[in-house]
Amino acid sequence: MKKLFILLFVLLIISCSIESNENKIGIVIHGGAGTILKENMTAELENSYMIKLEEAVTKGYDILKNGGSSKDAVEQAIRVMEDSPLFNAGVGAVLTNDERVSLDASFMDGENLNAGAIAGSSYVKNPISAAIAVMEKSPHVLLSSKGADDFAIEMGIDTVPNSYFITERRLNSLRRLKDKNVSYKDPFIKDSKFGTVGSVAIDIKGNISAGTSTGGTTNKIWGRIGDVPIIGAGNYANNECCGISATGWGEHFIRNVVAYDIAAQIIYKNENIVDASKKSLDKVKATGGDGGVIGLDKNGNVAMEFNTAGMYRAHIDNEGNITIKIYKD
């Protein structure tokens, strides 16, 4: 009898081990959605985007493959994009009406629903890291402007002069708008509102994390803040269902609470993540907005949906298969 109990105990351990190993890892990223047309893209620029998307998604996947957390995978993938002038986040972010950069970011942990965000930062080199620090080292969820920068400095997070973020490309874009006498009271003109970066990952423990980072909209005024730092609008993660990161016209993503709306459809209606994402984007379109979302559900199924001409996106699944795309299929 004793031998039987020992055998059953060993089988139980093996079973638990197999079950644990069945958890699927995966990561998906986006680098913004908008009027991204192949005919407007040089071969050199397209290649630059493809290389950087591969670098970012691979950086995150390598962490997951080696048993690391989804939090670390999301943070490092986003930092790659924040450090690239190709995207509207960190260096290379779009400029406000007064020719400065103002940065927003958020992060959410699906295991415990903890979250952190910053808005209107002028000096944080990697806003996603500051958002994580808000989650881990403060009693708050969202810090803004000078307070966010002061917190980052106190936490020892890298800060840089605002001029570090400004590129000639973004400065010229803003000044072209001003030369055309585009009203500063109406900054949401065509192609001014896209370029946000984001990532969602699921690790071997089944924990889902989501992060999003942006410079907002070109020519923005009055300290405008979009959906990115608002949990449930531009970012959401919950191990019970999924993780979501959004990009697009932030006001409409706020009004439609897009990231949580997708999660709610999965939880309460048993919708799959692709259909849920499409339905939420239909709501955005109905109110006059557009954009895209990426997400992973608790089983590792991926969504990369958008209602614009294109979206910079990449995904690596549990088997290590990589997908990188820019345009519509």
Q: What is the pLDDT of residues 22-38, one digit of tens each?
A: 689 999 999 998 877 78
Q: What is the pLDDT of residues 92-129, one digit of tens each?
A: 999 999 999 999 999 999 999 999 999 999 999 999 99
* Identified catalytic residue from 96, 196, 212, 214: 196
Q: Is 178 left (phi over 0), alpha (psi -120 to 50) or beta?
A: alpha
Considering only CA atoms, give the Rg of the chain: 20
Q: Angle formed by the axes of helices 258-269 and 273-286, to 10°? A: 140
d(CA 96, CA 191): 15
Q: Is 38 left (phi over 0), alpha (psi -120 to 50) or beta?
A: alpha
E strand residue ranges, the chain: 26-34, 103-109, 114-121, 142-144, 197-202, 208-214, 235-238, 242-248, 291-297, 302-306, 310-316, 322-327
Q: Would you say the pTM of this structure is higher than 0.85?
A: yes
Average pLDDT over residues 259-272: 98
Q: State yes or no: is 159 an active-site residue.
A: no
Q: What is the pLDDT of residues 272-323, one digit of tens each?
A: 999 999 999 999 999 999 999 999 999 999 999 999 999 999 999 999 999 9
Q: Angle formed by the axes of helices 127-137 and 70-82, to 10°? A: 150
Of residues 8 and 63, more confidence is placed in: 63
Q: What is the pLDDT of residues 59-97, one digit of tens each?
A: 999 999 999 999 999 999 999 999 999 999 999 999 999
Calculate the average pLDDT of the chain.
90
Domain boundaries, the chain: 23-327
The DSSP result for 104-167, as a single string, is EEEEEETTTTEEEEEEEESSBS-HHHHHHHHHHHSS-SEEEHHHHHHHHHHTT--B--GGGG--
CATH superfamily of 23-327: (Glycosyl)asparaginase (3.60.20.30)
d(CA 272, CA 266): 6
